[in-house]
Structure 1
């Protein structure tokens, strides 16, 4: 049977920091490791600690060995590699360039960007097709704003009719501001406002 492994003798500073970590609201994994170290310093064996925490004995032994080698630094998580970023500096530069220009400058038949159009354009330019929601978040994070298309209907109205009704409305506003009673206004202007569809 092998000899039990315990944590090395803690300095006062280490013990104080471990106690502070245990009481803190740090990451649960860091707190758990700190508690394992403190229990080991109090004479608890690795199998007992593993049973208390519901982890394997190997996990407890690894935590103790790492602490014995590196001290308090071993309690923190090691950096993880993770997935590489999809958006590069080049992608962001292309995005900024695109929103500053009209889509027609790039040969598209439309004159305004939508999120989906930007996404497709950047997919062709940079070779990376992002989720529209992620593209929107990226734009917000980078402070990039594009103008959403405005659907105006001014070109659908009859200019003569519009100008005539606008003049009547101005007349009514001016007359009212001068104190002309409403009953007089209705007899002065026998106007029928209608809403017509183009």
Structure 2
């Protein structure tokens, strides 16, 4: 599996998949059919067929993992710098309001790091680092939390 913007399988998941391929290689040597292997390993028969072809051409070495498909464009160190930039707020980067959008974050990445991301790639980058999408809470300036709490405790039970 390959994902946009340098994502992909974790090292643990790559090792797990390689283990499946090695187990399949053992079963190829026993002369088992692709359907039997697919059922036993709980994978698609098409994957078994691809692995069998690679195994026939290059032996078990052909089934070894080749490592990650791509490295992330922003390392953990650069992402920490991006977090600092985001903490400064959108106004510090030239936008009139205080709301971050994926497009704006994409622009900051392009300006600051000279890296090109898609909007969807920015979304995945943020998700991989534990960020989530949140809608800002819009409240009136006159909002009084104490008055609301008093109303909920006093007036609301009487209305029922």
TM-score, normalised to structure 1, is 0.43
**Pairwise CA RMSD:** 4.3
Structure 2 match to 1:111: 98
* Distance in 2 separating the partners of 1:113 and 1:137: 15
Matches within 5 A, 1:12-27: 18-19=29-30, 22=34, 23-25=36-38, 27=47
* Distance in 2 separating the partners of 1:117 and 1:100: 13
* Distance in 1 separating the partners of 2:133 and 2:69: 31
Secondary structure of the 2:86 match is helix
Selected match of 2:129 from 138, 142, 152: 142
* Distance in 2 separating the partners of 1:138 and 1:73: 33
The structure that has the greater radius of gyration is 1
Structure 1 match to 2:61: 73
With over 3 angstroms needed to count, the CA separation of the structure-2 counterparts of 1:107 and 1:141, relative to structure 1, is same
* Distance in 2 separating the partners of 1:175 and 1:73: 72
Structure 2 match to 1:127: 114
With over 3 angstroms needed to count, the CA separation of the structure-2 counterparts of 1:81 and 1:113, relative to structure 1, is closer
* Distance in 2 separating the partners of 1:132 and 1:91: 18
With over 3 angstroms needed to count, the CA separation of the structure-2 counterparts of 1:174 and 1:93, relative to structure 1, is closer
5+ residue gaps, structure 2: 1-24
Say whether 1:173 aligns with 2:160: no
- In 1, are the aligned partners of 2:28 and 2:52 still within 8 Å (CA)? no
Secondary structure of the 1:128 match is coil
With over 3 angstroms needed to count, the CA separation of the structure-2 counterparts of 1:140 and 1:123, relative to structure 1, is same
TM-score, normalised to structure 2, is 0.51
Q: CA deviation at 1:115?
A: 1.8
- In 2, are the aligned partners of 1:114 and 1:149 still within 8 Å (CA)? no
Matches within 5 A, 1:158-197: 170=151, 173=155, 176=158
